[in-house]
Amino acid sequence: MIIELIIILVLFLILKWIYFNNLLVFLDLIASVSNLLNYYFVKYRYQVIEYNLNRVFPNISKNKFNEIYYYSTKLFILNSLIAIHQRFIIDTNYLTKYYNKVDISDELKEDIKNNKVIFATAHYGIYYDFSSYYYFISTLAPVYKMKNNLIENIVYNSNKFKNKILPIRHDKLGSLINNDYKSIYIVTDQKANSKKDKIKFLNQETNFHYSVADIHKATKRSIWYFSSYYDFTNQKMNIELIPIKNLHKKKEITQQIADLITERVLKNPEQYFWHHDRFNSGLK
């Protein structure tokens, strides 16, 4: 009996080592299997995605729609799996080897050192791997909005991150933006309940979060657009970092961010999270 238990333990440790040393490969496989089940049996948020895509691509074909739906949903599942593994990823940099080389400009290094930075991003590509920022910073303060307490505890519990990740709830942002965070990370493309001027986003006149512009005006932080494209074939990520230059007016800042997201989504729509009821369809 003892021998059998030892064998089981050894096999478990071997499998654990294989799993974590090939983490993205396994997470991609799990996402693929889950997505196939969804695609043929569940069709999660199918009507919402159909509504969104028809708004943005009025002449989209059924085949193209199904292709975008399939890969967008797989990417959503993959991001969720990465979020669940976040603490292990942060502690060990398990996903670092899956990123293509990132060239950090002197301008960004200087901004981080002297001005501190706001990273504006979107639900595009891989957006839940906070360890990707370790190429150029040591700590990150992601701003988040989460209604599910269980998921919030899994993904954003700061006690698990050894001061590497310092999560900020969106409703606490006003009181914390002047803290000495080297960098703040904000996903900007969610639906905004705002009376501020509308922004053109994905070819639609719509409400858009002004948080990045508000923080810049209050703190004088530099603003950089961040995205992480996921290569489905090679299971690699490509990081893109672009400075926001015109910082005079809040609407101009916000429109620049919306334009950068729009450009990438229109070029690679399968990389985007279409599941959110962004344009108020009223569908479930």
Tell me what pLDDT residue 31 has: 97
Tens digit of pLDDT for each residue in 12-65? 888 878 887 889 999 999 999 999 999 999 999 999 999 999 999 999 999 999
Tens digit of pLDDT for each residue in 185-200? 999 998 877 788 999 9
Please write down the long-range contacts of 34-43, taking CB distance under 8 Å and 24 or more positions apart.
34/77, 35/70, 35/73, 35/74, 35/77, 38/73, 38/77, 39/69, 39/70, 39/73
Q: Do 105 and 241 contact (CB within 8 A), yes or no?
A: yes
H helices of 93-202, in order, are 106-114, 149-156, 173-176
173-192: buried (b, 16+ CB within 10 Å) or exposed (e) per residue? beeebeeebbbbbbbbbbeb
pLDDT surpasses 80 at 155: no
Tens digit of pLDDT for each residue in 206-240? 999 999 999 999 888 999 999 999 999 999 999 99
Tell me what pLDDT residue 92 has: 80
Residue closest to 52 by CA, chosen among 282, 205, 278, 203:
278
Instruction: Give me the mean pLDDT over the 129-151 stretch.
Output: 78
Strands (E), 2-55: none
